[in-house]
Chains A and B, each alone.
Chain A
Amino acid sequence: MSFDLPFVAESFVALLRGIPLTLQLTVLSVVSGGILAFGLAFMRISRKWWLDAPAQFYIFVFRGTPLLVQIYIIYYGLSQFPVLRHSVLWPFLREAYWCAVLALAFNTAAYSAEIIRGGLLSVPAGQVEAARACGMSGLLLFRRIVMRLALRQMLPGYSNEIILMVKSTALASTITLLEITGMAAKLISESYRPVEIFVCAGAIYLAINFLVTRLFAWLEYAVTPKNRNSEERRA
């Protein structure tokens, strides 16, 4: 097998056209899944069994089954019900795009909920007591004290989850979407040169994930006051 540079460059440029869709799927599902995850995390730490149990069950189911099964249930499975086919939701559920977003969001919500829960549980009780002694309560306490401390704890875990999501969007190619992997499969069916094209696609994913890790490293640095102070002291 010879290495054909013009061909590699050409397919690389063609694959670049898949990037917007990959990013769209990632951002939409991470944002909507993140909102759902917050709800689930609060249900888990509520100390009320009728809130905790359904959240636990949701997380067990979505973490215990493959994402591919979830995507197929939503995209192929739901069409089995005539009720759904005639409902107002069908224009959305018919589209592979929305099915992929939905499945990815449900999936990431289960994993993120546990990360958020871990972050919230890591907030030292003394900090909350101190805030209460200062007269803070409710949302103010949450916004000023709990959320900031929890955020710092959960950033590393959350960055892993986002990288997993970027990689998971590749599964959307199995339900006809032309994101990077789908584009690669299409190019291969035209040129029959799998190795070069898949290596290009892998390089693009690697570049995206590298940027994600850099972004989170910067965020982590920004929210850790210890680093900020030492920087000031040095200056």
Chain B
Amino acid sequence: MNTLGLMGFGPDGWGYSMLAATGTTVAVAACGFFIGALLGCLGAAGSLSRFRALRSVADVYTTVLRGIPDLLVIYLFYFGSSSVISTASALFGAEGFVGAPAFLTGALAIGVVSGAYQMQVFRGAVLALSKGEIEAGRAYGMPSLLLFRRIVLPQAARFAIPGIGNVWQLVLKESALISVIGLVELMRQAQIGAGSTRQPFSFYLTAGALYLLITFISGLVFRFAEKRAMRGIRRCV
């Protein structure tokens, strides 16, 4: 069968399963991305705080998670949580290895990794604010939270969009690694197809094309968001 017939939507076609797997990829990447956004905010707040202990915790977090391979983090989360679950279920009489849920573990793992990158983006965005605006806010007597909500957040979000777009692309590609712990996302589905039809090139090429499609569309979305956020701002270059 040629590649087009293979990826068709007929009874022998793999079209539906490849599209469903694409959906899983987007879902797990989005979950990981939002967990990362949360951790990134916390980390950025920590690294900009007055307390030395918080600053060093944030620093260690971002240095370590950006310094070790993502594959290792995914394995560590999977085997680590599986061994905890196995130990716990052994208490209730279950035997042997109990695997952790792949979607949750995968989303958590890429969330923790992308949080380290997002933290740097948020930190840079907050540092890019002009100091005078914050001082002016304080001079009006705004308390910290109000100042953050009214002055810091709207402007920092604007500065953060390009960097966040990069992290999203990174997360999307990282999600392919979750295939190693058995979640049937795009990469894993391509492996399954390649195994049962003996046409690995067709399947991996299709998977690559689908990834390209997602990155292309999300690139357009981020470009639009940036354009919208930057309206009314004079460019110096």
Show the binding face of A for B, using Cβ within 8 Å.
1, 60-61, 63-70, 72-73, 76-81, 163, 167-171, 173-174, 181, 184-185, 188, 194-195, 198-199, 201-202, 205-206, 209-210
Asked if residues B204 and A76 are in contact (CB atoms below 8 Å), the reply is yes
- Total cross-chain contacts (CB, 8 A): 121
| CB-defined contacts of A72 to chain B, threshold 8 Å | 187, 190-191, 200, 204
How many B residues face the partner with a CB closer than 8 A? 40
List 24 A–B pairs whose Cβ atoms lie within 8 Å, in order of A's numbering. Answer: A66-B173, A66-B176, A66-B187, A72-B187, A72-B200, A76-B194, A76-B200, A76-B204, A77-B200, A170-B70, A170-B71, A171-B69, A174-B180, A184-B75, A194-B75, A195-B76, A195-B83, A198-B72, A198-B76, A198-B79, A201-B72, A202-B76, A205-B72, A209-B67
User: Which of A64, A171, A210 is B216 in contact with, Cβ under 8 Å?
Assistant: A64
Mask of B202-215 contacts with A, CB within 8 angstroms, 1/0: 10110110011001
| CB-defined contacts of A64 to chain B, threshold 8 Å | 169, 211-212, 215-216
Q: A64-B215, A77-B205, A168-B69 are in contact. List 13 more A-B contacts (CB 8 A).
A: A65-B173, A65-B212, A66-B173, A66-B175, A68-B179, A69-B190, A69-B208, A70-B208, A76-B201, A77-B201, A195-B79, A198-B79, A206-B63
| CB-defined contacts of A66 to chain B, threshold 8 Å | 172-177, 187, 211
- Asked if B68 is an interface residue, CB under 8 A from chain A, the answer is yes
| CB-defined contacts of B212 to chain A, threshold 8 Å | 60-61, 64-65
Q: How far is the CA of A206 from the CA of B207 in the complex (A)?
A: 32
Mask of B134-158 contacts with A, CB within 8 angstroms, 1/0: 0000000000000000000000000
Asked if residues B200 and A65 are in contact (CB atoms below 8 Å), the reply is no
- Asked if B80 is an interface residue, CB under 8 A from chain A, the answer is yes
| CB-defined contacts of B200 to chain A, threshold 8 Å | 72-73, 76-77, 79-80
Show the binding face of B for A, using Cβ within 8 Å.
63-64, 66-72, 75-76, 79-80, 83, 169, 172-177, 179-180, 187, 190-191, 194, 198-202, 204-205, 207-208, 211-212, 215-216
CB distance from A169 to the nearest CB of B (A): 8
Closest to B63 in A: A206
Q: How far is the CA of A188 from the CA of B80 in the complex (A)?
A: 12
CB distance from A83 to the nearest CB of B (A): 12
Asked if residues B201 and A73 are in contact (CB atoms below 8 Å), the reply is yes
User: Which of A61, A73, A170, A194 is B204 in contact with, Cβ under 8 Å?
Assistant: A73
